[in-house]
């Protein structure tokens, strides 16, 4: 019965349904943009929704194992506060700040206490630094769990950046940028005080640990990441960012252990602020790395620049990369899409490409192609208009 009630609680919280709606709208927006630019979708499948549900299951299992083993206890006041703020954030198009909401709500609860809302109503704010439970330690443990989840989320989804956005640089030349925009809602098992549920819902199981009445609650947490890449290596940068967040999770774990030893609320608050600042610095650092690489994918007059490679196509089998420049097809020089497809049709079952990669090295690529469909080699190039 308790499992059914927890599933019901997870499903009725707006975070879950707003996450699904935002994911679907992101999918529709991508399809519309791709079809307007390239006359067809680079990937017509709803990979955004697939990512949402696979990540929900996988990350929910990983995160809940951690939170259950550590025994993270938080107040239901903080849970309600977090869910309200994250719901408001989800209602704002284009806004993706799950970690900002997580850290912000924790700091407010730790500084102003679980009854901060009454201070807002009365207009009298005061720092209490008094809580009925060691929430600072539990918050650090929860942050560690969320960082681990974010690390795994980026690792398993880093190859999904394959939808270029076309803009122009200061010289008026077309350039491509790439946006990683994925999200999911992760169910995490947490312990909460059981007194409220004991008095309001006799069906909800309440148990005692060291004399404290507790119950289990499955709480939805938003995991999302939005990052715009100007260079041609979003996959490599995402891998490096994921590794940096993984190291930050180790730092958070160390601070969690220190917090258990020190048992000082100011230390807990300082640790949370340090972790959040480090997280923001990681994002800022890799934003600069992306901008300073100087390897933007720019339209060329010396050949056909590859903007994206569709999965499971001859282009993918030839290991073509974003930024590669196709100079010859089947021995014929090409500088436009018309010349490309005309050269491909000269041999409708096989293609041989002369490629100049981003390091300036010439390579020869060859592969069998779909009989009767030479245009389906699986590359995306700059649109004519």
Residue 151 has pLDDT above 80, yes or no: yes
| 168 and 67 both lie in a single domain | yes
Do 49 and 142 fall within a single domain?
yes
60 shares its domain with 103: yes
Residue 132 belongs to domain spanning = 2-292
- Structure confidence at residue 210 (pLDDT): 55
Domain final residue, candidates 255, 270, 292: 292
Separation of alpha carbons 137 and 13, rounded Å: 26
State whether 54 and 104 are in the same domain: yes
Give the model's confidence band at 223: pLDDT under 50 very low, under 70 low, under 90 confident, else very high.
Answer: very high
Give yes or no: residues 161 and 307 share one domain: no
Q: How many domains does the chain have?
A: 2
CA atoms within 13 A on the CB side of 312: 2
Task: In whole angstroms, give the CA distance from residue 33 to residue 220.
Answer: 31
pLDDT value, residue 133:
46
**In terms of domains, do 223 and 335 share one?**
no
Do 226 and 210 share a structural domain? yes
End of a domain among 292, 326, 341?
Answer: 292
**Shared-domain flag, residues 7 and 59:** yes
At 167, is the pLDDT very low, low, confident or very high (cuts 50, 70, 90)? Answer: confident
| pLDDT mean over 195-218 | 65
Average pLDDT, rounded, for the chain: 84
Do 242 and 375 lie in one domain? The reply is: no
Question: Two tokens at 74?
Answer: 């938080």
Task: Read off the pLDDT of each residue in 93-100 and give the average, rounded to a whole number.
Answer: 89
Read off the pLDDT band of 322 (50, 70, 90): confident
CATH number of the domain within which 367 lies? 2.30.42.10
* Pair of tokens at residue 310: 């569709």
Q: For residue 97, how many other CB atoms are within 10 A of its CB?
A: 16
Query: Is 45 a residue whose pLDDT tops 70?
Result: yes
| Residue 163 and residue 274 in one domain | yes
Asked which of 292, 311, 336 is the last residue of a domain, the reply is: 292
The answer, yes or no, to whether residue 243 has pLDDT greater than 90, is yes
Query: Are 252 and 316 contained in the same domain?
Result: no
Residue 113's alpha-carbon distances to 106, 131, 213, 255, in angstroms, are 10, 6, 20, 22
- Alpha-carbon distance 129 to 110, whole Å? 6
Whether residue 252 is found in the same domain as residue 376: no
């Amino acid at each position: 019965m308790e499992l059914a009630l927890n599933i019901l609680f997870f499903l009725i919280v707006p975070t879950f349904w707003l996450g699904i709606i935002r994911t679907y709208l992101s999918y529709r927006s991508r399809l519309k943009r791709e079809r307007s630019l390239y006359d067809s979708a680079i990937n017509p499948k709803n990979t955004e929704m697939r990512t949402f549900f696979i990540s929900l299951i996988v990350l929910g299992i990983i995160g809940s194992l951690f939170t259950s083993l550590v025994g993270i206890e938080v107040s239901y006041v903080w849970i309600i506060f977090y869910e309200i703020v994250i719901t408001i954030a989800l209602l704002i198009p284009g806004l993706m700040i799950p970690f900002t909401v997580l850290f912000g709500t924790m700091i407010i609860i730790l500084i102003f206490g679980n009854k901060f809302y009454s201070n807002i109503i009365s207009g009298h704010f005061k720092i209490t630094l008094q809580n009925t439970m060691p929430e600072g330690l539990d918050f650090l443990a929860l942050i560690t769990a969320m960082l681990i989840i974010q690390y795994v989320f980026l690792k398993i989804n880093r190859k999904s950046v394959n939808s270029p956005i076309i803009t122009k640089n200061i010289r008026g030349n077309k350039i491509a940028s790439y946006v990683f925009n994925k999200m999911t809602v992760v169910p995490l098992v947490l312990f909460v005080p059981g007194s409220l549920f004991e008095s309001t819902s006799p069906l909800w199981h309440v148990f005692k640990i060291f004399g404290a009445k507790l119950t289990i609650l499955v709480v939805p947490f938003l995991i999302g990441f939005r990052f715009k890449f100007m260079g041609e290596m979003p996959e490599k940068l995402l891998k490096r960012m994921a590794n940096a967040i993984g190291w930050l999770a180790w730092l958070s774990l160390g601070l969690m252990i220190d917090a258990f030893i020190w048992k000082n609320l100011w230390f807990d608050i300082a640790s949370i602020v340090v972790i959040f600042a480090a997280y923001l610095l990681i994002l800022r650092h890799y934003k600069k790395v992306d901008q300073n690489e100087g390897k933007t994918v720019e339209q060329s007059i010396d050949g056909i620049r590859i903007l994206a490679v569709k999965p499971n196509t001859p282009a993918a089998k030839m290991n073509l990369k974003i930024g590669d420049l196709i100079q010859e097809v089947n021995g014929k020089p090409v500088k436009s899409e018309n010349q490309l497809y005309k050269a491909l049709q000269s041999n409708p079952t096989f293609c041989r490409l002369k490629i100049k990669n981003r390091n300036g090295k010439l390579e020869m690529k060859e592969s069998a192609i779909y009989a009767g469909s030479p245009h389906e080699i699986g590359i995306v190039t700059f649109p004519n208009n």
